[in-house]
């Protein structure tokens, strides 16, 4: 099934969701949020679907929020992007080629496992725009990475290489460029060889423990976002991005 923003395909018991807004580096607008939400609702609701794979295609994953159009309204079941606020019972694997920046990286962090090509690029550049990550990275980055590394990439805006991501535990499997989807499907096949009841119960138990403080994490994200939205630096950072110039920070 295809719409303007995603392609959805069933392979055995696996639902493959491909973002298809390639001319915008798969930046998420309101239409993509709705498309991702619908696809993940399908994964959750159809008993014969046991595992999901989300990818951006062979050249990129996702550049995050479309800063011109915004990502639209968070959905009832999935939250921001229809993905990052979702409670799932079925595993979701990210297959990452090329850029996974900002909200795109936060989508990766919301998945259960990550297969990345050696040309993948992970980053949280929000501080370079006078912004903060608002889609889960504030509390999830330190779950999938060591605390000091999470601080470093979030406070400097520097990229994390896929090799370092693999060494540090963010990335489950590394593959050659163009091979992320195949690698994710191979990992999915290992999961679907097992009892879906066992897999789902195990995942729910693990996630319940890991997400016990999520309400506090979202509250702190909202607090940071409120301060940022009222700041001159945020306005300057966004203006500089669109005008393709270095920002002039004032610290206000």
| Same domain? 126 vs 238 | no
Q: Which residues, 6 or more positions from 79, have their beta carbon under 8 angstroms from its beta carbon?
A: 85, 86
State the average pLDDT for the chain: 97
| Same domain? 228 vs 103 | no
* pLDDT average, residue stretch 33-49: 98
Model confidence at 3, in pLDDT bands (50, 70, 90)? low
Q: Is the pLDDT of residue 1 over 90?
A: no
| Same domain? 32 vs 87 | yes
Coil/strand/helix, residue 218: helix
Q: Which residues, 6 or more positions from 31, have their beta carbon under 8 angstroms from its beta carbon?
A: 3, 4, 5, 72
Specify the higher pLDDT residue, 2 or 42.
42
For residues 37 and 85, give the distance between their C-alpha atoms in angstroms, rounded to a whole number: 11
* pLDDT average, residue stretch 223-238: 96
Q: Is the pLDDT of residue 2 over 90?
A: no
Residue 194 covered by a domain: no
For residues 192 and 210, give the distance between their C-alpha atoms in angstroms, rounded to a whole number: 23
Active-site entry in 46, 48, 126, 243: 126
Residue 151 to residues 137, 142, 160, 162, 212, Cα–Cα distance (Å): 10, 8, 12, 17, 21
pLDDT score of 242 = 93
Catalytic residue flag (residue 173): no
| Same domain? 162 vs 220 | no
| Same domain? 233 vs 168 | no
pLDDT score of 201 = 98
pLDDT score of 213 = 95
| Same domain? 137 vs 231 | no
Active-site entry in 48, 106, 236, 243: 106
Residue 250 covered by a domain: no
Q: What's the domain count of the chain?
A: 2
Residue 220 covered by a domain: yes
Q: Which of 176, 204, 227 is the last residue of a domain?
A: 176
| Same domain? 19 vs 102 | yes
> pLDDT, tens digit, for every residue of 151-160?
999 999 999 9
> pLDDT, tens digit, for every residue of 98-151?
999 999 999 999 999 999 999 999 999 999 999 999 999 999 999 999 999 999
| Same domain? 103 vs 219 | no
Q: Which of 176, 196, 223 is the last residue of a domain?
A: 176
pTM over 0.85: yes
| Same domain? 131 vs 51 | yes
Range of the domain at 235: 212-243
Catalytic residue flag (residue 106): yes
pLDDT score of 38 = 97
pLDDT score of 79 = 98
> pLDDT, tens digit, for every residue of 76-104?
999 999 999 999 999 999 999 999 999 99
- What CATH number is given to the structural domain containing 116? 3.90.226.10
For residues 192 and 194, give the distance between their C-alpha atoms in angstroms, rounded to a whole number: 5
Question: In terms of residues, how long is the chain?
Answer: 252
């Amino acid at each position: 099934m295809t719409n303007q923003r995603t392609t959805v395909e069933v392979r055995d018991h696996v639902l493959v969701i491909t973002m298809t807004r390639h001319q915008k580096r798969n930046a998420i607008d309101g239409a993509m949020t709705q498309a991702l939400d619908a696809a993940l609702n399908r994964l959750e609701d159809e008993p014969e679907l046991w595992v999901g794979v989300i990818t951006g295609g062979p050249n990129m994953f996702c550049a995050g929020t479309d800063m011109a159009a915004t990502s639209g309204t968070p959905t009832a079941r999935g939250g921001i992007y229809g993905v990052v606020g979702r409670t799932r019972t079925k595993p979701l694997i990210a297959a990452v080629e090329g850029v996974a920046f900002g909200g795109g990286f936060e989508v990766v962090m919301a998945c259960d496992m990550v297969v990345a090509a050696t040309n993948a690029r992970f980053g949280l550049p929000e501080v370079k725009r006078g912004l903060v990550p608002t889609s889960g990275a504030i509390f999830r980055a330190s779950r999938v990475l060591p605390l000091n590394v999470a601080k470093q990439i979030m406070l400097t805006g520097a990229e994390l290489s896929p090799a370092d991501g693999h060494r540090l535990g963010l990335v489950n499997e590394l593959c050659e460029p163009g091979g992320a989807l195949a690698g994710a499907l191979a990992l999915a096949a290992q999961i679907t060889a097992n009892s879906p009841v066992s897999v789902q119960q195990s995942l729910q138990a693990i996630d319940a423990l890991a997400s016990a403080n999520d309400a506090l994490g979202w509250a702190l994200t909202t607090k940071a976002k409120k301060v940022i939205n009222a700041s001159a630096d945020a306005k300057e950072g966004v203006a500089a991005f669109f005008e393709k110039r270095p920002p002039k920070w004032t610290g206000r």
